[in-house]
Amino acid sequence: MKIVTVVGARPQFIKAAAVSRVFAGRQDCAEVMIHTGQHFDANMSDVFFQELEIPKPAYHLGVGGGTHGQNTGRMIEGIESVLLEQRPDALLVYGDTDSTLAGALAAVKLHVPVVHVEAGLRSFNLRMPEEINRRLTDHVSSLLLTPNEQGIRNLAAEGICGAQVINVGDVMYDAALHFGITAEQTSSILEQLHLAPSAYWLATIHRQENTDDRLRLQRIFDGLGRAAATVVLPLHPRTRKRIADMAVQVPGNVRIIEPLGYIDMVMLEKHAALIVTDSGGVQKEAYFHRVPCLTLRDETEWVELLDMGWNRLAAPMSEGFLDAFELSYSKGSEDHQPYGSGQASLAVIKAILTLAQGN
């Protein structure tokens, strides 16, 4: 069978690395990858494909830099053209980006079954573009592969249930296990930055709700300034531009560095004392590496990490936000593993093959 996979952003490259490795080892599956170009900077894209040993995409659409509507429309047009040429048995999308939605819409209108990996996640905040993308993608998908039981419950509440909904576990956990070992063996980022393990905080800031509001973004940096440790911040290009354009003041303890490849980022995550982020993927990676996390959002789709004590929410405009950076953070519960056993990629392939046999 032939599968067309659509990726466009860093978290999708990581997920695809885990699943594509399984595809490559099989004779009964052929994968054709489309890179939309949503993350087009070399540090945001090319280095990931090299480090994660993902095959070079067969198609690169070069879409990026525009508004959500501009990007999504251009992606749909480009993906549709590839689907008409390739005639795949199914289209595979990951997560909740504009690339995800564009792939799903292009495929469903051509009657190509859509497989959504990381289905069923909900933040219940429709101001987030990601929430809109994930909801719409779920409602046009033929196979919905959730990373946890909460995803099953969320989909059932929207009337999506049955054999097409499967909890396969989290493919990012597969990647974390595999590349965590690689990072320890090959990364020298701690030495390059002169960092001692557990002596620094690691931060990421990229979500539109945080970067496009000057007051909110300044509050985040004010909070980071209260940290007793050095805060290492690999800076997303959009965030860097917003800081300059809006004259946001960056505290002296915040050490801004260029975006990192995945292996170096994993190494920094594994050895941080605390991770501060607005990224859904980094929240999970913090847990995978058993590092406490402070999330710079009003809500999170990973509610189980809140329940287990590994993650705490810090809403930037809340009254106690700044105090959150002066608290002591300890590790959470180890009572259960909500994201599977690290074999999610195999479960994804099995589910896709079952879908193909039923059509």
> Could you report the per-residue pLDDT of 59-106, keeping only the tens digit for each?
999 997 789 999 999 999 999 999 999 999 999 999 999 999 999 999
Helix (H, G, I), strand (E, B) or coil at 92: strand
The closest alpha carbon to 79, from 5, 145, 182, 11, belongs to 5
CA distance 335 to 322: 31
Q: What is the pLDDT of residue 305?
A: 96
The closest alpha carbon to 205, from 256, 268, 170, belongs to 256
- DSSP code at position 87: -
Quickly state the pLDDT bin for 40 (edges 50, 70, 90).
Answer: low
Q: What is the pLDDT of residue 41?
A: 58
Beta carbons of 192 and 263 less than 8 angstroms apart: no
Query: Could you tell me what percent of the chain has a pLDDT over 70?
Result: 97
pLDDT tens digit sequence for 217-264: 999 999 999 999 999 999 988 899 999 999 999 999 999 999 898 899
Phi, psi of 89 (to 5 degrees): -80, -25
Which residues are designated catalytic?
Answer: 206
311 DSSP β-pair partners: 293
Q: What is the pLDDT of residue 356?
A: 79
pLDDT tens digit sequence for 293-304: 999 999 999 999
Distances (CA, A) of 128 to 96, 281, 314: 10, 15, 17
Quickly state the pLDDT bin for 196 (edges 50, 70, 90).
Answer: very high
CA distance 79 to 58: 12
pTM: 0.89
CA distance 58 to 38: 16
- Give 140: exposed, middle or buried? Use CB within 10 Å, 0-12, 13-18, 19+: middle
Buried b (16+ CB within 10 A) or exposed e, 292-309: bbbbbbbebbbbbbbebe
pLDDT for residue 348 is more than 80: yes
Sequence-distant (6+) residues with CB within 8 A of 247 are: none
Q: What is the pLDDT of residue 303?
A: 93
CA distance 117 to 170: 9
Phi, psi of 231 (to 5 degrees): -110, 115
Q: What is the pLDDT of residue 357?
A: 79
CA distance 228 to 200: 9
Beta carbons of 20 and 55 less than 8 angstroms apart: yes
Quickly state the pLDDT bin for 359 (edges 50, 70, 90).
Answer: low
Q: What is the DSSP string of 139-184?
A: HH-SEEEESSHHHHHHHHHTT--STTEEE---HHHHHHHHHHHHHH
Sequence-distant (6+) residues with CB within 8 A of 75 are: 8, 36, 38, 61, 63, 98, 99, 102, 103, 106
CA distance 239 to 246: 10
